[in-house]
A and B are shown apart, each in its own frame.
Chain A
Amino acid sequence: MPDIDLNRIFSALSDPTRRAIVAQLRNGEALIKDLAEPFDMSLPAVIKHVNILEEAGLIVRRQEAQRKPIRLQHEPLKELANWLQDYAAMWEGRFQQLEAIMKDLEKDQE
């Protein structure tokens, strides 16, 4: 698997349309025209969004006869979720300490 470029993934996912496309692909493969359906925008505009997601490694296009179904790549998303979860875990540790210290002080003052 190629190196995951977090910066690219984050910036690809910073756009609400692209997040909606990713959410839609969670249900399985789709064609461009299916993906474009919920949006009030031109097909080329949707293709542009799909290209950005592809460059970030979040999706792949499969060649199948005349069609090119688009599929979600789960690995980069998992990787990203792991970073965020570890970050949350680090702060949760600090916050638990903070809470315990303040509770101790409270008891001392009683």
Chain B
Amino acid sequence: MKQTFGATTVTTPNDHQILMERDFDLTAAQLFAAHTEPDLIRRWMSGMPGWSMPVCEVDLRVGGQYRWEWAHPEGHKMGVSGTFKEVVRNERIVQTEAYDEPWYPGGCEVSISVSDESPNLVMLLTYEEPEARDISLKTGVAGVEDGYKRIETLFD
């Protein structure tokens, strides 16, 4: 399956993966910085309106960890950590992803490749379990609709 929205194309190459591609009016170096420098990550990954990202720590080296935390004024919290498996400056990072309160089974590996050539950004999410891939697709949508709270209702 393949869908495009604006400049973003999403495909599901197999039942474990989600592949996203997009072209930007930015260099590979700028895209790499946006995905690896905490001050920048915070500004575009802070989530839904009302949410902030009080913790964004990145130890950018193979074996290094990252830690992101989101918070809502009403007290909701969400955290994710992972380890960098591959770091090639201005080219590629591969990181694992583990949420504090896992909302999908198994692990996930995120590979982000940036390039000055089209497609400028290729993001490949590989889930251990096909079910996890599908939950991730659904909750991504829930995130758009009602914020992260909706994630919980999927398990009712």
Contact = CB atoms under 8 A, between A and B. Distances in A.
* A and B interact physically: yes
Interface of A: 6-7, 10-11, 13-14, 80-81, 83-99, 101-103, 106
Nearest to A94: B44
Contact of B137 (A83, A95, A96, A101): A83
B63 interface: no
A83 B40 CA distance: 28
B131 A90 contact: no
Interface string B1-40: 1111111111010110010101011100011011000001
Given A95-B22, A97-B44, A101-B40, 18 more contacts: A10-B1, A10-B15, A10-B133, A13-B12, A84-B1, A86-B140, A87-B18, A90-B143, A91-B5, A91-B140, A92-B7, A95-B7, A95-B24, A95-B121, A99-B24, A101-B34, A102-B30, A102-B34
A91 B30 contact: no
Scoring A80, A90, A93 by chain B CB atoms within 10 A of each residue's CB, the highest score goes to A90
Nearest to B47: A94
20 contacts: A7-B130, A10-B130, A11-B15, A83-B141, A84-B2, A87-B140, A89-B144, A90-B143, A91-B8, A91-B20, A95-B7, A96-B6, A98-B34, A99-B26, A101-B40, A101-B43, A101-B44, A102-B26, A102-B30, A102-B33
Nearest to A93: B144
Interface of B: 1-10, 12, 14-15, 18, 20, 22, 24-26, 30-31, 33-34, 40, 43-45, 121, 130-131, 133-134, 137-138, 140-141, 143-144
Is the contact region of chain A dominated by helix, strand, or loop, or is it mixed?
helix
